Amino acid sequence: MPLYRAYGLALDYPDAVQYPLPLAGSGPAVAIRPADLRVPASEPCFVSPWGWRDVPSITVRRCPEGLHLQLYSCDYLLRGDSIGYRDWPEPDPDLRATQLLGAVLSVWFEANGAAAIHASSVEVDGRAVLFLASQSGGKSTLAAGLTRCGLPLHADDVAILQRTPTGIGVRPGFAAMRLWPASVARLGLQAEALPLVHPRADKRVISVEQLGAGFSDRVLPLGGIFLPERRENGALAMHPLPGSASIIELVRHSFSARLVEAMGWQPGRMSLLAEAAARAPVTRLTVPDGLHQLDDACRAIAARLREGMA
């Protein structure tokens, strides 16, 4: 049975996945198994206002066994050291793997006192530097470009913040990225040769090896937080944010703030994010729009990051 490594954990999962996850060499931290799940009779704690085919993207219920999550095509039961799942009548293993590595583990970490942020990160001199943005904000493309400047990838799309004995740490993601075909082409690769995230999505899965990059698979202290903003005809610029604005941006880019509030986890998350904003500078980063300027922008950003972390 394969033990996949993701988010710094060994995942005991019986299925193959479309992501190039390395195999873990130690015992499982989280066992992920098929289970005979039933939707609890209790009222939902949270129902997402967004969805697909009239099904909310996520519904959460508490039950005696743990947290019950209902996503399109699969139900999940989250416990401290295990995740059970039950496919709907038409199983979709690729979608299930994407859900597990995204929404499901994000909720699992939140339930265990961490904070999931929509961000990509790279390692700079032993610290994690985060880039927060919306799904179309270019955080992954920017992180991919920085890896080509010699900065190891640390996480893509979801960054997990947690308290450590020395402050705020960032957990590693996994050694792959999800990029749009135009970004893949700008990196000199053929999108058609890469696996799809899902047959209904156009994003491609690309490993760090295919990027010619390294991967930092360890919890790193938080070093800095950037808010990239693509601006047509704009020059590369960095503007520090005051503390109050920093916390607002962290909350705005956190995973499902409404879900966290509904579950009663908001006080703990706010405390963690406030400490993160106090410990690491939050900077608005203006980046020239256009993939043709990506290489020059990434070289300049990498140089400034190395200088600032020295």
pLDDT along the chain (310 residues), means of 10: 88 89 83 94 91 83 95 94 94 92 95 94 94 73 89 94 94 92 85 84 89 93 90 79 87 88 93 92 83 78 80
Backbone angles phi, psi at 29, to 5 degrees: -90, -35
The angle that helices 294-309 and 139-147 make with each other, rounded to 10 degrees, is 70
Domains (ranges, CATH) in the chain? 3-111 (no CATH), 115-309 (3.40.50.300)
So what's the pLDDT on residue 285? 86
So what's the pLDDT on residue 217? 93
So what's the pLDDT on residue 306? 86
So what's the pLDDT on residue 238? 87
Residue 220 to residues 185, 232, 237, 251: CA-CA distances in angstroms? 31, 34, 26, 21
Distance of alpha carbon 6 from alpha carbon 169, whole angstroms:
16
